[in-house]
Amino acid sequence: MKTDLSFAHPAEIATECLAVVVTDIDNGAADRPKNAKPEVAIQTNDAAVRAAAASVLTSGDVTAKTFEITVIHEPEKLKAKRLLLIGAGKAKSFQASDLCKLAGAVVRALKPRGIRSVTFVTPDSVDAESAVKNIIEGAFVGNFDPDTYKSDRKDQQIDSFTVVASSSYDQKKLQQAHDEAVIIGESQNFTRDLVNEPSNHMTPTILAERAKKMAKEVGLKCETYGAEKIKELKMGAFWGVAQGSDEPPALIVLQYEPAGAPANIKLGLVGKGITFDTGGISIKPADGMEKMKYDMAGGAAMLGAMRAIALLKPNVKVTCIVCATENMPSGKAQKPGDIQTAMSGKTIEIINTDAEGRLVLADGLTYAKQLGCTHLIDAATLTGAVVVALGYANAGVFANDDKMYERFNAALNKSGEKFWRLPLGEEYLDNMRSNIADLVNAGARGGGASNAAAFLKEFAEDTPWLHLDIAGTAWMEDQKPWIAKGPSGIAVRTLVEFARDFKG
C-alpha cells in the first residue's frame, strides 16, 4: 500500500473517499432527555467538509457510536467522490490512540466496495504527530487479510492511503511520523504474514530462511544454526523439544549493533518459535489443533520488531534469538518423566510435554545472556492460563524489575496495545519445584501463567527481564471492525517503542 501525507485543504483533494472522524458531544446536561439523539460533531475545521456533512449530522441518523460508518455520495463542494464519517464515541474520551482502530475500520469497510484510494483527515482535537502515526499504522493493520491460499482470492486491497493534516503544524515532524509509522505498520504485517503460514509452509528451516532474507534487506547480521550447534551449546531443554520431530530445529540469531551505541547495554529479545505444536506425547485434543501453527507468534513478533528497529535505527544494541522447532510425538520424542539439562545447568523434570515453550525459552534466555545481553524480553504464546485470567482483550506481562516494567508501560502508552501485569513470587516458583530435579516444566493448575513465568525467571535470574505471554491475543478469534480474523502481530509496536526509548 502506497501512503502519503498531504497538507492540502481536504475539500480540494480528489479521492475516491474522504474519511473524517465524528464524535458524540456528551456535555452531561441534566436536562437532556433520556432518549434524546446525540449531539454529533465532525472533527475538522474545514468549512467545506463541515458544510457537506451538515445535513446528515443534523438529521439524527448519525450517532457517532464507535466504528459507525456513514457514507455521503457526491458530497457538495468536495472533490472527493464520497465523504465517510467514522464514529469515535464520546468526545470527552476520544484520544489519538483510538485512531489506529478507526483507520483500520475505514480501510476494512471500503475494501469490499472496490475502493482503492482513501484519504483520512486528522482530527483537530488531538496531537497531530500522534494522529498521523496511529492512522498510518491502523491502515496497514486493516489492509491485511489472511486468505493467502484461496484459489479465488479477490483483489480487495487499498492501493493508496493519504493522511491530511493542517499546514499549520510542523510539516517536517509530521513527515517523520508518517515515515516511521509506515515502517512499524509494515513490520507488524511482516509478523502477521509469518504467523499466518501453515506449518508445512513455515517449518523451522523456512522461518530461518525468512529471517535471513529480512535481515539482508534491512542490514541486520543474521546467523542460523541447526541441531549440532544446539547440542554443542548444551541446550538440553531446547533439544528435548526438538528431538521428536523429523524437521530440523533452527536457532536464529539477529544482531543490531549501531555505531556509537553504549557498549555496556544490550537489549535481548527472545522468541518462542514452535512452528507447530501437537503437544508431543502429551498430545492435544484434535479440536482446534490446526491453530497451533501460530505457536511461533512470539518468535515472529521478535523478527518483526527487529525489522523495524533496523530501519528506525535507535541508539541501542539489540540481539534477537528465536528458538524454532516443531513439538511432535514420535519414537524419538521426550516423554513425561524424562529429565533434561538446560544450557544453564539446571535440570528439568518433564511432567507435560505440551509445556514446551518454556523449555525453548529457558535456553534462549541463557544464550542471550551469554551473548552479552544486559536486559531481556521474551515473548511467547505460552499458556492457556493467561487466556483464563485475561480473556482475549489483554496479553500478560511479568517483570522481575519494576524499572523495566515502567519503561514497558510507557511504551504501551505510545503503541496503544493492551497488556496487563500479572504477579511473580516465590509461591509460584514453589509450584515448579521437582523432587528429582531442580524444576518441573508444568506445575499446579491454579495460577498457570504465573507458574510458567516463575519457571522462566529462574533462567533470567537477576538480569532485568520482562515476559510477554501473548497466547490470548496473538490470534484474533473473530473478525473485528479494524482487523481481520487471524494473526494480530501483537507486541511488535510496543517492542519497537520500548527499544527506541531504551537507555538501559
Q: Domain containing 337 — which CATH number?
A: 3.40.630.10
CA 140 centroid distance within chain: 13
Residue 191 forms part of a structural domain = no
Helix (H) or strand (E) holding 214: helix 204-218
Residue 279: phi, psi to the nearest 5? 100, -10
Enzyme catalytic residues: 284, 358
Q: How many CA atoms lie within 13 A of 99 on its CB side?
A: 28
Residue 303 forms part of a structural domain = yes
If asked whether residues 162 and 83 sit together in one domain, one would say yes
Number of domains the chain contains: 2
Q: Which of 166, 208, 198 is nearest to 44 (CA)?
A: 166
Complete DSSP assignment for 294-328:
GGGHHHHHHHHHHHHHHHH--SSEEEEEEEEEEE-
Rounded-to-integer distance, Cα 357 and Cα 89, Å: 40
Residue in the structure block whose three cell numbers are 498531504: 6
State pLDDT tens for residues 238-290: 999 999 999 999 999 999 999 999 999 999 999 999 999 999 999 999 999 99
Q: What is the dihedral of CA 444, 450, 454, 457, to 10 degrees?
A: 160
pLDDT at 26: 73
pLDDT at 31: 53
If asked whether residues 116 and 56 sit together in one domain, one would say yes
Residue 182 forms part of a structural domain = no
Do residues 87 and 67 make contact, with C-beta atoms less than 8 angstroms apart? Answer: yes
Domain boundary among 153, 169, 185: 169
If asked whether residues 153 and 238 sit together in one domain, one would say no
Residue 175 forms part of a structural domain = no
* Long-range residue pairs from 143-149, CB within 8 A, at least 24 positions apart, any chain: 143/1, 143/107, 143/111, 143/189, 144/189, 144/192, 144/483, 144/484, 145/484, 146/192, 146/196, 146/484, 146/485, 146/486, 146/487, 148/196, 148/197, 149/198
Mean pLDDT of the chain: 96
If asked whether residues 314 and 208 sit together in one domain, one would say yes
If asked whether residues 412 and 263 sit together in one domain, one would say yes
Residue 187 forms part of a structural domain = no
If asked whether residues 371 and 287 sit together in one domain, one would say yes
What stretches of 433-493 adopt beta strand conformation (E)?
A: 439-440, 465-469, 475-476, 486-487
If asked whether residues 376 and 470 sit together in one domain, one would say yes
If asked whether residues 393 and 435 sit together in one domain, one would say yes
If asked whether residues 26 and 118 sit together in one domain, one would say yes
Strand 419-421 with 395-399, pairing: parallel
Residue 407 forms part of a structural domain = yes
State pLDDT tens for residues 446-458: 999 999 999 999 9
If asked whether residues 279 and 408 sit together in one domain, one would say yes
Residue 94 forms part of a structural domain = yes
**pTM of the entire predicted model:** 0.96
If asked whether residues 254 and 382 sit together in one domain, one would say yes
If asked whether residues 478 and 357 sit together in one domain, one would say yes
Residue 463 forms part of a structural domain = yes
- Supply the range of the domain harboring residue 54: 2-169
pLDDT at 154: 75
Burial degree of 74 (CB within 10 A; 0-12, 13-18, 19+): exposed
| 347-349: strand order across its sheet | 339-341, 347-349, 439-440
Task: Please report, in tens digits, the pLDDT of each residue of the chain (504 residues total).
Answer: 999 999 999 999 999 999 999 999 875 555 556 666 778 999 999 999 999 999 999 888 999 999 999 999 999 999 999 999 999 999 999 999 999 999 999 999 999 999 999 999 999 899 999 999 999 999 999 999 999 999 988 778 999 999 999 988 899 999 999 999 999 999 999 999 999 999 999 999 999 999 999 999 999 999 999 999 999 999 999 999 999 999 999 999 999 999 999 999 999 999 999 999 999 999 999 999 999 999 999 999 999 999 999 999 999 999 999 999 999 999 999 999 999 999 999 999 999 999 999 999 999 999 999 999 999 999 999 999 999 999 999 999 999 999 999 999 999 999 999 999 999 999 999 999 999 999 999 988 899 999 999 999 999 999 999 999 999 999 999 999 999 999 999 999 999 999 999 987
Q: Check which CATH number belongs to the domain holding 60 and give it.
A: 3.40.220.10
